[in-house]
């Protein structure tokens, strides 16, 4: 069973639909027993960091998520919540990835919206995907580069497009909106 964490963030249905297109059923839940017993867990999200963390705390998921031992994938805001902290709402996050989420400098083209390629390090998440492949991004905040960075993107400055630490993975882009290459990344996650 694939469990999507339900914490009031947007874009969860898009991820469910992407899984459905791959023939994979999933459940949307905030129940600790269902999350612990899931084969894989996805923390998707579009929204604001401090609100999202408050939702996780209300359901005590801020304690549960770091204790999960199966593969966990954070998408967009979900990845940012797996970091140490975020400038968005001065938010203390889950602290899994050793990096801070910063706001892009206010320039004409923020948020970073559209297709962009990534420089990819070796990771099973990117099997069969090259640095020439494009992913779809929509974000105004970014995770700084760190030892957990497995893919970088350059927009205004280099930032972490993907992170990995132990069984935790995160991507700043939206694989569920990234056509065939995004579907490939989701399949790679499901195969872990």
Note the pLDDT tens digit of each residue in 152-179: 999 989 999 999 999 999 999 999 999 9
Residue 106: band (very low, low, confident or very high) from pLDDT cuts 50, 70, 90 = confident
User: What local confidence, expressed as pLDDT, does residue 126 receive?
Assistant: 98
Is 24 a residue whose pLDDT tops 70?
A: yes
Is 10 a residue whose pLDDT tops 90?
A: no
User: What local confidence, expressed as pLDDT, does residue 108 receive?
Assistant: 66
Residue 136 near residue 180 (C-beta atoms within 8 A): no
Note the pLDDT tens digit of each residue in 108-156: 678 999 999 999 999 999 999 999 999 999 999 999 999 999 999 999 8
Alpha helices in 134-190 (DSSP H): 179-190
Q: Which residues are catalytic?
A: 76, 174, 176
State the Cα torsion 134-17-186-96 to the nearest 10°: 100
Q: Is 186 left (phi over 0), alpha (psi -120 to 50) or beta?
A: alpha
Give me the domain span that covers residue 158: 2-190
Note the pLDDT tens digit of each residue in 29-76: 999 999 999 999 999 989 999 999 999 999 999 999 999 999 999 999
Nearest to 123 by CA among 171, 158, 63, 88: 171
Nearest to 172 by CA among 190, 186, 183, 159: 159
User: What local confidence, expressed as pLDDT, does residue 54 receive?
Assistant: 96
In angstroms, the CA 82 to CA 73 distance is 9
In angstroms, the CA 176 to CA 113 distance is 15
Residue 49 near residue 88 (C-beta atoms within 8 A): yes
Nearest to 2 by CA among 22, 10, 11: 22
Residues in a beta bridge with 5: 29
SS (H, E, C) 18-54: HHHHCCCCEEEECCHHHHHHCCEEEECCECCHHHHHH
Is 107 a residue whose pLDDT tops 80?
A: no
Instruction: Give the H or E element holding residue 57.
Output: helix 49-58
CATH number at residue 115: 3.40.50.880
Query: Which pair of structure tokens corresponds to residue 1?
Result: 């069973």
Domains of the chain: total: 1
């Amino acid at each position: 069973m694939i469990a999507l964490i339900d914490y009031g963030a947007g874009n969860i249905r898009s991820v469910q639909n992407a899984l459905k297109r791959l023939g994979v059923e999933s459940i949307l839940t905030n129940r600790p027993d269902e999350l612990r017993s899931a084969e894989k867990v996805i923390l998707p999200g579009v929204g604001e960091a401090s609100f999202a963390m408050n939702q996780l705390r209300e359901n005590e998921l801020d304690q549960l998520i770091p204790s999960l031992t199966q593969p966990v994938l954070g998408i967009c805001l979900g990845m940012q919540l797996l970091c140490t902290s975020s400038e968005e709402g001065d938010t203390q996050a889950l602290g899994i990835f050793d990096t801070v989420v910063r706001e892009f400098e206010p320039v004409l083209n923020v948020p970073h919206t559209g297709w962009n390629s990534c420089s990819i390090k070796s990771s099973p998440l990117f099997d069969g995907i090259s640095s020439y492949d494009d992913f779809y991004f929509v974000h105004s905040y970014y995770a700084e580069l760190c030892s957990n960075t497995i893919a970088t993107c350059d927009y205004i400055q280099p930032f972490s497009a993907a992170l990995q630490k132990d069984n935790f993975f995160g991507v700043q882009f939206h694989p569920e909106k990234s056509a065939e290459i995004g579907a490939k990344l989701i399949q790679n996650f499901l195969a872990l």
